[in-house]
Structure 1
Amino acid sequence: MYKLHPETTDDAYEVEALYDLVFAPGREALSSYRLREGVPAEAGLSRVARDEGGILAGALRFWPVSVGGAEALLLGPIAVHPTRQGEGLGGLLMAEGLAAAWAAGWPRVMLVGDYAYYRRFGFEHLSGVVMPPPTNPERVLGQGDWAGITGPVERRLP
């Protein structure tokens, strides 16, 4: 049994440690991290999952970006502790996070990931949306209102 809640500043250290464990410290070399530098995550949307003992089991963050001048959310990273994987926690984090994004009025969400995994959550390939290199365009996925939205993905500063 897990309790999900919006990420707070008190969670930040543990969440970063979880991301390092799951993705390795080199994760920050990915192009998606250039879009996150100096930009706070959407605190009301980012989620953490804790077990009955209060131990962090998973986390999901959202970041504001601009695509061809249009607002969007960049989902990620999403991580589940290795000892908790296979329990459906990633799907629960995804469902809760996306529900919060839609309820907050965000029109579109994107991520960089494996289509075979993320299509079950309603993500489709985004053609014409260009992530900073060296991102494989086949891994740029989205859901929501992407009609007519094309161009480079850029950071959105607060």
Structure 2
Amino acid sequence: MIVIEKENAADAAAIESLLNSGFGEERLSKTVYKLRQGPSVPSLSLVARTGFDAKIGASIRFWRCDVENGDTVMPAVVLGPLVVDPALQGKGLGRTLVARALEEADQEGWDLCLVVGEASYYSPYGFVLAEPYGFELPGPVDQPRFQVRAAPNLLQSLADKPIIRKVLPRSGKTSDVQGARGASCAA
């Protein structure tokens, strides 16, 4: 039996343990962790509980960030980390969490989602390479792994105005989402 639900405060230690076994503590030095400041987005941070003991078998988190777009700053979310217990990998838990969390992000009206991960894993969810749209992280990144997912009209407007778009930790100066559209990250 698998139950997917929102992460709660009591899950923190189990998630950290899962992240350490999945990625090691060196994950904290990666560029994308510079964006993971403050709390994760609670409505988008999910866990998959397994068995009768409700053990956490997988976790996904999202973090708010800002994207400089010329004279304006756009709010965005960064997907990750996504981690699945090695004993449960290959059973679709990760894909289920990604699909469910992105559906929640769409419903909340997030216009822009970023991820650093395997393109073949994230492209089915509408992610495309970020570099052609001018996105730049605050440190080194393997460019083929840096991807963006946005509403088609937003992607088109970004493509029409080629500039460097720096991705920065959330400043708190922008609202969480742009507008009240229901399908903000739709591909």
Partner of 2:137: 131
Q: Which residue of 1 aligns with 2:183?
A: none
Q: Confirm or deny that 1:155 pairs with 2:159.
A: no
Correspondence for 1:105: 109
Aligned-partner Cα distance in 2 for 1:133–1:114: 18
Number of residues paired by the alignment?
157
Map 1:1-150 → 2, pairs under 5 A: 1-37=1-37, 39-53=38-52, 54-68=54-68, 69-126=73-130, 127=132, 128-145=134-151, 146-147=154-155, 148-149=157-158, 150=164
Counterpart CA distance in 1 for 2:18 and 2:147 is 24
Q: Is the contact between residue 41 and residue 63 of structure 2 (CA under 8 Å) also seen in structure 1?
A: yes
CA contact (8 A) 1:130 1:137 kept: no
Deviation at 1:110, TM superposition (A): 0.8
Contact 1:63 1:74 in 2 (8 A): yes
Gaps (5+ residues) in structure 2? Answer: 159-163, 173-187
Give the secondary-structure state (helix, strand or coil) at the position aligned to 2:47: strand
CA distance in 1, matches of 2:58, 2:171: 26
Please tell me the root mean square deviation across aligned C-alpha atoms, in Å: 1.3
- Which amino acid is the alignment partner of residue 47 of structure 1? L
| Larger radius of gyration between Structure 1 and Structure 2 | 2
Q: Is the 8 A contact 1:58 1:81 kept in 2?
A: yes
**TM-score of the superposed pair, with normalisation by structure 2:** 0.80
